[in-house]
Structure 1
Amino acid sequence: MAATNNVLGGNAHNDSHSSCGNNSCKCDTSVDNPTMTPSTIFDAVKSGMLLPVQRCVEYYGDEVLRRRDSEGHTPAHWACYGGHTFILQCIIDHKGPINEPSNNELEQRPIHWACVHGHVPIVDLLLQNGVSIDETDRKGVTPLIVSCQYGMTMLAAYLIGKGAGLQLVDTDGDTALHWAAFKGHSELMRLLIYSGLSPHQKDKYGQAPVHLASICGSLTAIKELRQHENVVIDEADTNGKTPLMLAVGRKHYTVIKYLKDELNMKTGFCFIPKLDMWAILFGPPGSQKGALMFFIINMLCWGYPVYFFKVLPVTWFAMTKLHVFFVCVNLLMWAVLYKAVTLDPGFIPTNTSEYHLAVKQVTYSTDYHEIESRLGRLCHTCRAVKPLRSKHCRTCNRCVTTFDHHCPYIYNCVGYNNRVWFLLFALMVSTMLECAIWMGFYILINIDYDILIFIGLVETFFFAVISHIILFFGVYQAGVNLTTNERLNWGRYTYLQDGVGLFYNPFSRGCKANILEFLHLKKPLSESEATFLNVKVV
């Protein structure tokens, strides 16, 4: 197992990589205090407020920017770590050092610290002021490797577009791809492989990226590597450990099952196909349809037998119309479930020319706001430019237009194309369960107590609560023109915020228009037609 050190923590390929040892520092920015000392510059920089920094520089002169804290770091290190662009520019304006290594064992430079949190504007500013894109610390770690250690795909794409050395390795022979595999960043892995890194390359411990993905336990990362021809999964490293043995040692059971199945397929007779009944019924590892199968089996083996043998015979004459309605609702439920399961939810085409053009344009762009906007729209797994409101689904491994959520009960994403069918399914299920509850109470109150009816009533009531919650939020979100993903994660999307970071929905046109748009009876607003308050659409 490799022993590559992390950029800020000095850890090897183990369970966790620490970041800076002073993450929880408490900053006193009261530089007007008469007890102010030169060390106040570090508190001021960490606070992210420009004015205290300027006052400290005025009071002590430019030399204060050359000071080191107790761990050997410069003010530029902390400005880069916190993503404080204006403070870094202030340091540059006052001729402060922006590329000095820390006085410690690893000797990291400010650009490495900027990569920990993926600060593209900071890195861009450093590169504009002469910092090398391939600066290394004492362990040979480059900015690209750091961005891959921390899963900063946008920054990695920016660095690659600016010409970062893809083939550079750290002192243990690990490439950026090794680190992305070890951390389980599958989208980042695809970007690196697409850009030219080999998935077969080994480090000095004889470990290829697939070994490190097995240590991490990332099934998605291993599958990503297996898509490339001749990636060997049974080759041992210098310690005699194969990927399967590494996964077994860390009890990554889904990875173990997948690797065993792949090895059995490799060593078995090609003319005797092996049937994996578990995979057939519940889906392959990492993409199982257990919830959908539970619903179907529960209805066919429990719900309907109780209805036909316990409920129908004793309530038919008293509730004939309700029974006819109940049967009709059930037939409609299965019809809309079939549509919701089988319909394409709105998958975005993969490997598009727009994606390749956008990656190339990063090299020629000098406006980092434009760079961030472009890179933020790229999906390196699908190799596509994502429209607003779309999102990559990790389960389906595809980007979905107007992504709402991935629903295990339909074994599919809910997106633009099938959202109406999903809401109809929730409506049919809710209606069916209401009928079942009415019948169950009627039997218990007017006919006789039956333990099976009671158990069925409790189960029905539980699922009725869930289905009604789903139905309520589905109707509510249709009325306000939001998806579940947007409602829960609006803070991540600048297009859903106004100029001060508060929620703002540029797609809402009133309840009636929103409902018509949800039902595909009204054309949705295009990006050029919507009014955005906090984002530049590129």
Structure 2
Amino acid sequence: MSQQDVVAVLSERLLVAAYKGQVENVVQLINKGAKVAVTKHGRTPLHLAAHKGHLHVVQVLLKAGCDLDIQDDGDQTALHRAAVVGNTDVIATLIQEGCALDRQDKDGNTALHEACWHGFSQSAKVLVKAGANVLAKNKAGNTPLHLACQNSHSQSTRVLLLGGSRADLKNNAGDTCLHVAARYNHLPIVRVLLSAFCSVHEKNQAGDTALHVAAALNHRKVVKLLLEAGADASVVNNAGQTPLEVARQHNNPEVALLLTKASQVRYKSLPNTHIHTELRPVNLERPNPLVLNLLL
């Protein structure tokens, strides 16, 4: 067997050892001359160890000089792979070693997008504290906050708002985070967004407000909350329809009744709770100790 063949075998074994978390084997294989091989998806031993949460293997590989930011066939780095499964210790180690925080994969997602999509709020905290861009958009125009709201991850939503994310940013369809929360009927997320003073008046590309969206989908509790927060029941979309007309078109009588009575609804502000203070973005020059404590 040629030296080249020996190295190839050792390198394949290194992939397996990294995947299984076999620290001693990883050390031995590196000492014997194993090089960085890749799987059929272009993933290195570092990708595999990061995804499986094998912190000690990650540390050994980094000490051996593995490329922190090498991307697999989907353009994901080891940081992405750790964020997908919420391996916070691995994320912290990669950050400490100086990995790129905002590298985007083939869909435009950063590691913060991944952590927030899956609801790993502790991982999101670590990334935000390290300076990950909370306003980054993927190819669909979604920020990490859009993704957290879509999947009803309340704690990740709070982390992002504390870190300076803006609820009124729009994706490629013109949807704000409130549109997204209304569409998926995530009432707790709607409450958090309203408490962070997001606008209830923004329109998407179709001219729909969040109230239009909720009315079309028969999300009665969301409609009620939006009305109480001051949403305008008379605004029209690009088709010239008010939320009431949209509700009637979709045969949603209970929502239609709410909207019919909208002029009689007494608009009242949300309860004056601590959330109003907590969800204001961090001022990095003069940080609020309460806000910093929540992020730590």
Contact 1:80 1:88 in 2 (8 A): yes
1:186 to 148, 154, 172: 154
Q: How does 1:490-509 map to 2 (within 5 A)?
A: none
**Matching residue of 1:258:** 221
Alignment pair present for 1:41 and 2:14: yes
**Matching residue of 1:441:** none
Contact 2:11 2:34 in 1 (8 A): no
With normalisation by structure 1, the TM-score equals: 0.41
Query: 1:124 and 1:205 mapped to 2: Cα distance?
Result: 34
**Matching residue of 2:177:** 209
- Structure-2 change in CA distance of 1:248 and 1:67 (3 Å): farther
Give SS of 1:149's match: helix
Query: 2:44 and 2:195 mapped to 1: Cα distance?
Result: 44
1:80 to 28, 41, 50: 50
Structure 1 residue 37, shift from structure 2 partner = 6.1
Instruction: Spell out, residue by residue over 1:271-290, the C-alpha distance to the aligned partner (whole angstroms, 9 max, x if none).
Output: x659xxxxxxxxxxxxxxxx
Give SS of 1:99's match: coil
Contact 2:14 2:34 in 1 (8 A): no
Contact 2:112 2:144 in 1 (8 A): yes
Aligned residues: 242
Contact 1:85 1:121 in 2 (8 A): yes
Give SS of 1:45's match: helix
Structure 1 residue 206, shift from structure 2 partner = 0.4
Alignment pair present for 1:117 and 2:85: yes
**Matching residue of 2:247:** none
Instruction: Spell out, residue by residue over 1:48-75, the C-alpha distance to the aligned partner (whole angstroms, 9 max, x if none).
Output: 221232333344x141xx1111111111
**Matching residue of 1:141:** 109
Contact 1:62 1:94 in 2 (8 A): no
**Matching residue of 2:291:** 356
**Matching residue of 2:94:** 126
Q: Which residue identity does 1:201 align to in structure 2?
A: L
Q: Which residue identity does 2:49 align to in structure 1?
A: A
Contact 2:83 2:115 in 1 (8 A): yes
Alignment pair present for 1:92 and 2:92: no
Query: 1:86 and 1:185 mapped to 2: Cα distance?
Result: 30
Give SS of 1:131's match: coil
Query: 2:174 and 2:102 mapped to 1: Cα distance?
Result: 25
Contact 2:128 2:134 in 1 (8 A): yes
Structure 1 residue 144, shift from structure 2 partner = 1.7
Query: 1:201 and 1:56 mapped to 2: Cα distance?
Result: 49
Contact 2:21 2:54 in 1 (8 A): yes
Query: 2:16 and 2:185 mapped to 1: Cα distance?
Result: 39
Query: 1:357 and 1:197 mapped to 2: Cα distance?
Result: 15
Q: How does 1:291-306 map to 2 (within 5 A)?
A: none
2:41 to 71, 77, 86: 71
Q: How does 1:57-456 map to 2 (within 5 A)?
A: 57-59=30-32, 61-63=33-35, 66-102=36-72, 104=73, 106-229=74-197, 231-232=199-200, 236-239=203-206, 242-243=209-210, 246=213, 256-262=219-225, 266=230, 267=233, 268-269=262-263, 273=266, 355-358=290-293, 362=296
Name the larger-Rg structure.
Answer: 1
Query: 1:137 and 1:38 mapped to 2: Cα distance?
Result: 25
Structure 1 residue 107, shift from structure 2 partner = 0.9
Q: Which residue identity does 2:144 align to in structure 1?
A: A
Structure 1 residue 166, shift from structure 2 partner = 2.1
- Structure-2 change in CA distance of 1:50 and 1:182 (3 Å): same
Structure 1 residue 263, shift from structure 2 partner = 5.5
Instruction: Spell out, residue by residue over 1:276-331, the C-alpha distance to the aligned partner (whole angstroms, 9 max, x if none).
Output: xxxxxxxxxxxxxxxxxxxxxxxxxxxxxxxxxxxxxxxxxxxxxxxxxxxxxxxx
Query: 2:61 and 2:137 mapped to 1: Cα distance?
Result: 31
Query: 1:69 and 1:155 mapped to 2: Cα distance?
Result: 26
- Structure-2 change in CA distance of 1:236 and 1:54 (3 Å): same
- Structure-2 change in CA distance of 1:156 and 1:230 (3 Å): closer
Unaligned residue ranges in structure 2 (runs of 5+): 1-8, 234-261, 268-273, 279-287
**Matching residue of 1:56:** 29
Bigger relative contact order, structure 1 or 2 (CA pairs below 8 A, ≥6 apart) = 2
Instruction: Spell out, residue by residue over 1:95-143, the C-alpha distance to the aligned partner (whole angstroms, 9 max, x if none).
Output: 22232100x2x31111111111222221222122231222222333222
Query: 1:357 and 1:242 mapped to 2: Cα distance?
Result: 33
- Structure-2 change in CA distance of 1:37 and 1:95 (3 Å): closer
Contact 1:147 1:156 in 2 (8 A): yes
Query: 2:290 and 2:202 mapped to 1: Cα distance?
Result: 35
The more displaced of 76-85 and 49-58 is 49-58
Query: 1:230 and 1:75 mapped to 2: Cα distance?
Result: 43
Give SS of 1:180's match: helix
With normalisation by structure 2, the TM-score equals: 0.71
- Structure-2 change in CA distance of 1:248 and 1:126 (3 Å): same
Query: 1:56 and 1:219 mapped to 2: Cα distance?
Result: 53
Query: 1:161 and 1:153 mapped to 2: Cα distance?
Result: 12
Query: 1:262 and 1:79 mapped to 2: Cα distance?
Result: 45
Contact 2:137 2:143 in 1 (8 A): yes
Query: 1:40 and 1:184 mapped to 2: Cα distance?
Result: 41
Query: 1:189 and 1:108 mapped to 2: Cα distance?
Result: 23
Contact 1:211 1:242 in 2 (8 A): yes
Q: Which residue identity does 2:24 align to in structure 1?
A: L
Structure 1 residue 198, shift from structure 2 partner = 1.4
Contact 2:162 2:291 in 1 (8 A): no
Query: 1:37 and 1:195 mapped to 2: Cα distance?
Result: 44
Instruction: Spell out, residue by residue over 1:166-192, the C-alpha distance to the aligned partner (whole angstroms, 9 max, x if none).
Output: 222222221111111111112221222
